[in-house]
Chain A
Amino acid sequence: MMDFSGHRIAVWNCSIALPFLLLSAAASGADAPPKTCTLQEIVSLDMQTLQTGEFAVPVMLNDLPAQLLVDTGSEYTAITDETAEELGAREKWTPYGGSFLNNVAINEYAYLDSFRIGPLHSSSRWQVVVIPNEILPYTISGLLAYDMMRNYDIEYDFFHGKFNVFMHSECPGSAVYWTHDAFAAIPIDLDRSKHITVEASLDGKPVSVIFDTGSPSSIMSLDAARRLFGWPDADPRLKSLGTEEINGGTSTPLYAFPFATLSFAGVSVSNPQIRLIPQDHFDAGRNHDANIVLGMSVLRQLRIYVAYDEKVVYLTGAEAR
């Protein structure tokens, strides 16, 4: 109905770090299963894929069904203003919020009385950030973020449309169960906003990459790219794509460059479509140093298993079997 191609990567100020409670794996209250080398899947959820490639999963907010867009670019699970109103969740203001890409400020939070994902549920009230309605389609209630996902291992199987949640694996290297073919196992660094950051190679140059399932497309700082590749000011390969009001913020110029290959320790993506925007819109605070925010236009070409405890991301091609 509308173009909601947001880039839902957020940078949070430290002081918002109010306590978030772990989800309990046992809805019945039973103890968590013992840790073993066999992957223990807790729940496999159907992805509701959006028209620009991101996806949402079914959850229960205050015992009401809802869809949350899965966003590795956000530290805190969020609900929209509209959802907060629907749930009667009282919004509170904080001076220590954060911002989404393109400097869209977030300064409100609220509490959910209950939060369920399949058999998982919060053991107490769950604090969520309140975000503008404009960031999401009308029928999506918010964002599922790091604060929940970090408690588990998460697999993104875009080809089959499945969002799989596992208990943390105790056995390094055991995550890739879906293929005997080669895979990449890359250490991840969680930056100060808890973004999954990995090292990669873009056209032979080392880059840091943030995995952002909340962004339909991939974004890089134009200034950082110029420094990295030494492009002249009037490089004819750099094409203007006009302007866009990313996340409903101010209008920002966009550029494209014909990159050839993005490589992750042996797993490569050809012709990655990465849009370039000025540094001031990419990260006004300059408080993270990732060169590329990798969105769904590239991530959908991969099958991804994030082992949060092990701090490794496992990658294969999306269709590997």
Chain B
Amino acid sequence: MRRQIPLIITFIVGSVLIISVFIPHKPFGQLGENFSVYFDIIAVFAFILGAGNLLRVHGNRIYRKHKDWPYSVVTVAGFTVMMIAGLFKIGGSPGITGDLTEPGSMFEELYMYVFTPLMATMFALLAFFVASASHRAFRAKNKEATVLLLAAFVILLGRTPFGVKLTSWLPDPLSFLEIPNLASWIMSVPNMAGQRAIMVGIALGVIAMALRVILGVERTYLGADSE
């Protein structure tokens, strides 16, 4: 029963959602809408599950003094402080309908002055690693790598006014060779063709996987003891 009930639920919900796309009328349209609302409600509970899991995993690391356990202390402390600041709306309007992000509230201050700079710093570090990696790995070792390298050059320069200035002297009949135009062409022709091919491939894979899940062939989502 532990396996059969989830399989039956998956089959019914999956089938109804597919039918509701092709027959958006009663009862399928209504059922499809209701299932989407259930999904949103379940998604909210997933946060509670996620929070519990985070505390369990990091609590265990701290308790057992695993490698790098002080980082887990920081994670748990950050999570607890943000949760208390948000739940009790410290410094903001009290009550269940009080605005969490009211200027001056502790949650908003922590978000603006701690969370935002930390996240922005992490993302900004990418520029340094990209530069270093480009220097070491971006080599014209063969024909394919050379094409990739040339495309990267055109895009890198085409995304800046320097690229415009570099080839702005070209006469009108040769304007298609201007770096920004080449960059635009690379993005909207070869890039788009490649992306579309990947997307079609992924879509076909998703359809196949969805059918396997709905029909109960694929059962890994049920956990380790699904077989």
Q: A and B from one assembly?
A: no
Residues of A within 8 A of B (CB): none
